[in-house]
Amino acid sequence: MKKILFSFLLLGQITVAQNKIEKDTIKSTELENVFVTANRSATLRKETPVAISKITSKTINETKAVAAYEIINKTPGVLMVNLGNEQHMMSIRQPMTTNAYYLYLEDGLPIRPMGIFNHNALLEINQFNLQNIEVVKGPASSLYGPEAVGGTINLISLKPSINPEFKFGIQADQFGYRRIQVAGGTTIGKVGFHIAGISSLQENGWMTYSDYNKDNLNARIDYNISSKTRLISNTMWGKYYSDMSGGVNEEAFYNRTYKSTTDFTYRKSDALRTRLTLEHDWNDNASSYITAYYRDNKLGQNPTYGIKWSPTVNPTTATGEVNSNNFKSYGAIGQHTQKFDFLNTKIVAGALYDYSPVTYWAYLLEMKATLNPGIPGKQTVNYYEITSERPDVRLTDYTADIYNTAGYAQVSINPIQQLIVTAGARYDNMKVDYNNALDHSTGTKTYDKPTFKAGINYNPVQFTGIYANYAQGFSPPGITYIFKAKPGTGGTTGKPAEFYYNLEPATFNNYEVGGWLSLFKGKLNLDYAVYYMEGKNELLSVRLPDNSTDYRSVGETSHKGVEFGGNYKIVNDQLNIRFGGTFAKHTFIDFKVSDNPTDALQNLDGKEMPQAPRWSGNSEISYYPNWFPKFRTSLEWQSVGNYYQDQINTVKYAGYDIFNFRASYEWKGIEIYGNIINITDKLYAYNVSRANTTSSQPSYTAAAPRTFLIGLQYNFSLRK
């Protein structure tokens, strides 16, 4: 761990409370990381009763990542699943899932409003604008609200430097990927600014029909009104377009025939987020801030996951969809932090208001399916072709106004020197006023719930500490699920459309113990967590034989596991060994899916959840030779264990182990670097899934062959 001083200097947006702690801890000799995310204010590790990890600017800079998953997967207990072209899903105390059980923050503010979760939200992030990343594992709903269940990821952006700084870089690989990136900033008098931009382009890759381009620009301006008052403006603009190649069948995967079945599917995103924050120090023990923000997001798709094809009904025909999901947000969040001498008490309290109008529509595509040779009923598709666009046949068509309001408070006390007790509560209310054009209905859906947490930290000596906590999680169903027509209804079926108005919010109770240990004068650092989380009414996506999806929010689940991580510096700090991983099991406890005796799937009691490896881990050895200054090299191991492909536990995917190599040398501000991803050219898939029938065929999200990335970066600074 690094000294507190350095951790503070690297924080993306420092609140008043952070400034006070910095003053106190600069004088300290403790080797301790400081976290913002866990308690919404700068907090020492030994005061934080949760499993939390920080990815430092050093790690981010050395990774030279193409996509965020390369960085985030270095966190113990986290598996960010690459779906290609920076698209992704997540696994933190949950199976690999696209469900709304993760909260993605940008400098502490959610990237999406509650109710409009998107598992691909991190593709909008500018990797060249990251200062550090904080990951909270387990529920944090009592502070951050619904969707903060499996984990919370806070991406902290770069802030203006005191002295002029500038960096420019290019990188490319042998599969047609290239990126240009530039950033710079300084402080002049009372005003500081920082600007960062990237432009990425992928053409003619290893997988057919897999091009994409992404442009991002971030700008931040800090105005120090006085020594006690600051005004901070932060704006992000992003534009993204990607082909959607989708998965490949089993034969194509093992033959490395990386051919997409479509040449028309796509995903595109236009995003704008801007915020203005006023911070004020009332005195050394009190601080406040208020943030007003605006979001404007447009997401359009012709998705591969929307293609429905049955090998047994009409195998030469299929259907798809074009959809558009657009929203704006107008909101504000305010927070006050107060400290008292009595028992070293600290109180954090705040409130949020968010108004987000949203529109969503989807219409039908009729398709022809050209088949590969095979056994009837077990055939696969070689190519889909659109035969007719049917904007007259709406599959989904609604508008909604979402009103989110919340209030939260957290208190920590220090009754004895080694013991810190923390308790927190939050109340959330999400009201949805909707107009569903398909069934001509209007109405209001309200989801509200108080959530609580309580924890203790015990630090008997300076080099070790333990904690225990209980935390609740809460996640209402995303409105995109509520207004989808149920399979077999609507469209051209001749049956009136039926919807998921009765989906219930998912609730969670998490019980956890953990701790940290620092030995050999901070050269060896370890942390661990043991958790048990029970869920009720989790959203279950039942994949049907034609690739359509039916949704349920019933039953109970259990999630239990052990997470561990460590870092060891040896040979005069020239060699750094980082290791981490998780052993976990995710199970359906009481999950009745259907009362219909003719349905193939009745219940999932006792089954393991699919796409839920019991083991995953990431470790790395880095070498910084004293005899060759400013040179570094590292070898990374990413490991994912086996898991069931389907919900009825009939077929497993074996998982994978891959190795990545990175090296860099810097001379007079010029850095040249190279990454080799998948050194051994391992054949593996990021994700494998199939429907719950014996005739269903698996879909493989194929991973890239061995990839060579090279880059050049110029770093200029007048820092003294």
For residue 28, is pLDDT > 80?
no
What is the tens place of the pLDDT at every residue in 266-313? 999 999 999 999 999 999 999 999 999 999 999 999 999 999 998 888
Average pLDDT over residues 458-473: 95
Average pLDDT over residues 88-113: 95
What is the tens place of the pLDDT at every residue in 389-418? 999 999 999 999 999 999 999 999 999 989
User: If 0-12 CB within 10 Å is exposed, 13-18 middle and 19+ buried, where does residue 651 land?
Assistant: middle
Please give the span between the terminal C-alpha atoms of the chain, in angstroms, as a whole number. Answer: 24
Where residue 77 falls (left for φ over 0; alpha for ψ -120 to 50; beta otherwise) is left
Q: Read off the tokens for 433.
A: 């006023």
What is the tens place of the pLDDT at every residue in 502-556? 999 999 999 999 999 999 988 999 999 999 999 999 988 887 777 788 888 888 9
For residue 162, give the CATH number of its domain.
2.40.170.20
* Separation of alpha carbons 181 and 170, rounded Å: 6
At residue 162, the pLDDT reads 93
What is the tens place of the pLDDT at every residue in 71-86? 999 999 999 999 999 9
pLDDT band at 32, cuts 50/70/90? Answer: low
Which residues fall within 8 angstroms of residue 688, CB to CB, at 6 or more apart? 611, 645, 653, 698, 699, 700, 701
3 state DSSP class of 294: strand
Q: Read off the tokens for 206.
A: 């290893």
At residue 12, the pLDDT reads 35
The angle subtended at Cα 613 by Cα 611 and Cα 618, nearest 5°, is 120
**What torsion, rounded to 10 degrees, do the Cα atoms 474, 350, 50, 522 define?**
150
- Count of structural domains, the chain: 1
At residue 431, the pLDDT reads 97
At residue 351, the pLDDT reads 97
For residue 5, is pLDDT > 50?
no
For residue 375, is pLDDT > 80?
no
DSSP state of 548: -
For residue 133, is pLDDT > 50?
yes
pLDDT band at 165, cuts 50/70/90? Answer: very high
User: If 0-12 CB within 10 Å is exposed, 13-18 middle and 19+ buried, where does residue 130 land?
Assistant: buried
pLDDT band at 248, cuts 50/70/90? Answer: very high
Looking from the CA of 324 toward its CB, the CA atoms found within 13 Å total 10
For residue 143, is pLDDT > 90?
no
Rg from Cα positions in the chain: 25
On average, the pLDDT of the chain sits at: 91
User: If 0-12 CB within 10 Å is exposed, 13-18 middle and 19+ buried, where does residue 29 land?
Assistant: exposed
At residue 681, the pLDDT reads 98
At residue 600, the pLDDT reads 64
Instruction: At 418, give phi and psi (nearest 5°).
Output: -90, -5
For 546-669, where are the alpha helices, taking DSSP H only? none
pLDDT band at 20, cuts 50/70/90? Answer: very low
What is the tens place of the pLDDT at every residue in 580-631? 999 999 999 988 777 666 666 778 899 999 999 999 999 999 999 999 999 9
CB 483 within 8 A of CB 504: no
What DSSP line would sit under 355-386, residue for residue?
A: EEEEEEEEEEEEEEEEEPS--TTS--EEEEEE
Average pLDDT over residues 118-129: 93
CB 154 within 8 A of CB 76: no
What DSSP line would sit under 27-63, residue for residue?
A: T---B--EESTTTTS-EEGGG--SEEEEE-HHHHHHH
* Separation of alpha carbons 707 and 660, rounded Å: 9
Q: Read off the tokens for 410.
A: 């957290």
SS (H, E, C) 313-352: CCCCEEEEEEEEEEEEEEEEEEEEEEEECHHHEEEEEEEE
Alpha-carbon distances, residue 652 vs 194, 607, 617, 642, 689 (angstroms): 48, 13, 19, 6, 9
Which residues fall within 8 angstroms of residue 713, CB to CB, at 6 or more apart? 167, 168, 169, 170, 670, 671, 672, 673
Q: What range does the domain containing 83 cover? A: 4-717
Q: How far is C-alpha 214 from the geometric centre of its chain's CA atoms? A: 18
Lowest-pLDDT range, 37-51, 166-180, 428-442?
37-51
* Separation of alpha carbons 398 and 390, rounded Å: 18
For residue 2, is pLDDT > 60?
no
Lowest-pLDDT range, 5-14, 416-425, 626-635?
5-14
Report the predicted TM-score, pTM, of the whole model to 2 decimal places.
0.93
The DSSP bridge pattern shows strands 151-157 and 102-106 to be parallel
pLDDT band at 16, cuts 50/70/90? Answer: very low
* DSSP H/E element including 556: strand 556-570
Q: Read off the tokens for 131.
A: 């200062």
Helix and strand numbers, DSSP H then E, in the chain:
7, 37
Q: Read off the tokens for 305.
A: 């996951």
At residue 333, the pLDDT reads 96
